[in-house]
């Protein structure tokens, strides 16, 4: 009670000339999905326990799903997945975290080069850096206006919406909330599509053109789309925009969906069966990129560049060439910063 009274009667709280915390530097919070802290079963179990407990991710009744999750998934899957993480782990840590942090640092530098007083933070929706801590750090730096940027070009409730939920849930606990904006999707933004086009052309300039170019997006249950999720539309909008940039070479481009989980039907066609079918048909060279991921991670490096490569070659394909995610490519970081600056309009 004495602490409460001291705060109420703190003369600084009643000073009309006190600085306005809403007029400090601008804050930008980049939010990616998340990653285990280490490629070990224990770390993977902690991460999956948080990730798969999100009702936006698994849309089953919680009482039923938690029994399945605790008794079956978390007792088996971590031991199976941890070696896969170990195969792609970098000296600096998880690829997703390393590339995301490098991109955040490059975006911050580019925004400073534009003369903007901006603080850029990085958070993971699940795991670390903890989203609440990253928001508090921006507020502690004096950021009274914050742009939250989920790092998903295509909107999905299980990715973008849950990041929005988490930001709002944390700010709901505050007495003095910052002014908040979201950059919730950018499937056809020029900065993003141009970056994809540059990556494809640079690869082709070095290695030659393939028979086919496959864009592999992360999958989603079909039921989610039927219930109104715009993700499927957003993915195909990205594909159409890139196909248009490629001109006559756009006919090489195809779309598929990866990372299916569970027995329910997901968005189709599925990536690995598509590649196996192409191999049997005699398609020789396939290039594959994952435009839905801004940073390379387990799903791109192990599932695609290892697993799908092996499946395609075993089915009769001659060459499988993975085009890395945009990561912290300097041109992309500059263009991403420009996209973010556009969404800071009126604050700068």
Q: Residues comprising the binding site?
A: 218, 299
Angle subtended by helix axes 131-140 and 162-171, to nearest 10: 50
Q: Decide if 104 contacts 149 (C-beta within 8 A).
A: no
Of 261, 253, 292, 256, nearest in space to 274 by CA = 256
Token pair for 294: 């801004």
Q: Rg of the Cα trace of the chain? A: 22
Strand partners, 26: 118, 145
Strand partners, 32: 124
Query: Hey, what's the torsion of the CAs at 295, 65, 233, 325, to 10 degrees?
Result: 10
Of 40, 81, 90, nearest in space to 296 by CA = 90
Token pair for 348: 């700068």
Task: Give the separation between CA 339 and CA 273, rounded to whole angstroms.
Answer: 36
Q: Decide if 101 contacts 151 (C-beta within 8 A).
A: no
Question: Taking the alpha carbons of 90, 95, 99, 105 in that order, is the dihedral positive or negative?
Answer: negative
Collapsing DSSP states into helix, strand and coil, what is residue 154? coil
Kind plus residue range of the DSSP H or E element containing 104: helix 95-113
Binding site residue list for Fe(2+): 218, 299
Q: Decide if 308 contacts 291 (C-beta within 8 A).
A: no
């Amino acid at each position: 009670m004495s602490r409460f009274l001291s705060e109420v009667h703190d003369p600084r709280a009643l000073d009309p000339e006190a600085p306005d915390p809403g007029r400090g530097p601008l804050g930008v919070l980049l939010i990616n999905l998340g990653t285990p802290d280490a490629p070990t079963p224990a770390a993977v179990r902690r991460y999956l326990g948080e990730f798969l407990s999100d009702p936006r991710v698994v849309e089953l009744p919680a009482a039923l799903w938690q029994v399945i999750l605790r008794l079956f998934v978390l007792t088996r899957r971590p031991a199976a997945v941890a070696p896969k993480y170990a195969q792609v782990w970098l000296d600096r840590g998880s690829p997703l975290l390393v590339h995301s942090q490098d991109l955040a640092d490059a975006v911050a530098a580019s925004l400073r080069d534009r003369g903007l007083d901006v603080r850029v933070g990085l958070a993971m929706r699940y795991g670390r850096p903890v989203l609440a801590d990253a928001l508090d750090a921006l507020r502690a730096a004096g950021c009274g206006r914050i742009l939250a940027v989920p790092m998903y070009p295509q909107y999905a409730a299980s990715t973008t919406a849950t990041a929005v939920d988490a930001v709002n849930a944390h700010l709901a606990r505050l007495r003095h909330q910052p002014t908040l904006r979201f950059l919730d999707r950018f499937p056809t933004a020029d900065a993003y599509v141009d970056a994809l086009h540059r990556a494809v052309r640079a690869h082709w300039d070095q290695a030659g053109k393939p028979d086919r170019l496959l864009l592999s997006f992360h999958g989603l249950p079909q039921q989610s789309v039927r219930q109104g999720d715009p993700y499927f539309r957003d993915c195909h909008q990205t594909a159409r925009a890139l196909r248009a940039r490629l001109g006559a070479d756009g006919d090489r481009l195809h779309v598929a969906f990866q990372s299916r989980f569970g027995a329910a039907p997901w968005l189709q066609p599925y990536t690995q069966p598509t590649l196996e079918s192409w191999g049997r048909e005699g398609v020789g060279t396939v290039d594959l990129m994952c435009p839905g991921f801004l940073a390379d991670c387990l799903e791109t490096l192990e599932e695609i560049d290892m697993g799908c490569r092996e499946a395609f070659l075993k089915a009769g394909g001659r060459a499988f060439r993975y085009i890395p995610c945009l990561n912290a490519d300097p041109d992309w970081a500059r263009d991403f910063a420009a996209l973010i600056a556009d969404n800071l309009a009126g604050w700068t």
